[in-house]
Amino acid sequence: DMMDLHETQRLFLEYLHDLSNQFHRVPGSAILLRYIKSSYQNDPVRSAVELFLFLFA
């Protein structure tokens, strides 16, 4: 059971790493990340509202 948990965790982290690499290849991704980091730091509520609007637009 513990082996399955560790294997699942390893595969999940590998998947996240691959997803992150793919995202960083997208043009403009660095600008988007900077915007999210700065807006969240200044106003986390606004960031949550923007995310909600983006998901349901």
Is pTM beyond 0.75? Reply is no
Given this model, what pLDDT does residue 35 score?
84
Listed residue (16, 6, 14, 51) closest to 32, CA to CA: 51
Which residue would you say has higher pLDDT here, 12 or 43? Answer: 12
Which residue type does 51 have?
L
Beta strands in 1-57 (DSSP E): none
pLDDT at 33 over 90: no
Listed residue (26, 51, 21) closest to 36, CA to CA: 51
Domain map (residue ranges) of the chain: 2-56
> How far is Cα 32 from Cα 51, in angstroms, rounded to an integer?
13
Q: Which pLDDT tens digit goes with each residue over 35-54?
A: 888 877 778 788 888 888 98
Given this model, what pLDDT does residue 45 score?
84
pLDDT at 16 over 80: yes
